[in-house]
Amino acid sequence: MARVLIVDDAAFMRMMLKDILTKNGYEVIGEAPNGAKAVEIYKAERPDVVTMDITMPEMDGIQAVKEIKAFDPNAKIIMCSAMGQQAMVMEAIKSGARDFIVKPLQPERVLEALKKVLG
């Protein structure tokens, strides 16, 4: 099954996502609390897909998407955002993200986005 990197500054969100993914056969190969760490882990592990929060300290999700896509143009990234962040989501999509899921997370929507992106 697909190898996933989870990126979110909130530990409880990473835990929730990890729970949804592992229960459905995905392998979580890493977790990052910010964009800078995400880029570092991506380069080392080359996951199949990344779930990326937008608002994080050190480096936000949009900048991380740009850096990961510069390193690997084929990277598959799904943005996770709170309601009301449409402008940021659009910027992330323009920067190369493939899909987005809205918080609070619905397990069905998370799995649907992964299937679509991994297609």
Superfamily in which the 3-118 domain is placed by CATH: Response regulator (3.40.50.2300)
Task: For tokens 């697909």, name the residue.
Answer: 2
Name the pTM for this structure.
0.95
Sorted by where each begins, the domain ranges of the chain are: 3-118
Average pLDDT, whole number, for the chain? 95
Residues 36-64: tens digit of each pLDDT: 999 999 999 999 999 999 999 999 999 99
Task: For tokens 């910010």, name the residue.
Answer: 34
* Contact (Cβ atoms closer than 8 angstroms) between residue 62 and residue 98: no
* Contact (Cβ atoms closer than 8 angstroms) between residue 52 and residue 64: yes
Q: Give the three-state DSSP class for 70.
A: helix
